[in-house]
Amino acid sequence: MEPTLSQYLLVSGALFAIGLLGVIVRRNLLIIYMSLELMLNAANVALVAMSRFNEKAETALDGQVMVFFIITVAAAEVSVGLALIVALYRKRQTTDVADLATMKL
């Protein structure tokens, strides 16, 4: 039996919820960053599923084009974010957000 749109959306929602939980609960900056990636990928799954079940032929691939752009932007975001984490670690010698509570360097 072919899986339905709501099943795909459910997987996407579960993935997003897990990512959000990671951002809220975990305190290691790198793990928080990985959870952000999970949330972005949840959006990607939802977009591709919507594109697959879109019935208008002329806009059928728009969801996949959007995912293409999201992947590119996410790659740029990861590189900048990890550079920030490395710069922060040089100053403070920690990646625990509980130790990074002040804005003073």
Residues 52-81 that bind other proteins (CB under 8 A): 52-55, 57-58, 60-62, 64-65, 67-69, 71-80
Q: What angle do CA 45, 23, 85 make, to 5 degrees?
A: 105
User: Residues near 52 by Cβ (< 8 Å), separated by ≥ 6?
Assistant: 5, 8, 63
Among 36, 43, 48, 104, binds other proteins (CB under 8 A): 48
Nearer to other proteins, 62 or 100 (CB): 62
Dihedral angle computed from the Cα positions of residues 84, 85, 88 and 93, in that order, rounded to the nearest 10 degrees: -160
* 33 in contact with other proteins (CB under 8 A): yes
* 100 in contact with other proteins (CB under 8 A): no
- Consecutive H or E run containing 70: helix 62-92
Using CB under 8 A as the binding rule, the residues of this chain from 3 to 32 that contact other proteins are 3-11, 13-22, 24-28, 30-31
* 97 in contact with other proteins (CB under 8 A): no
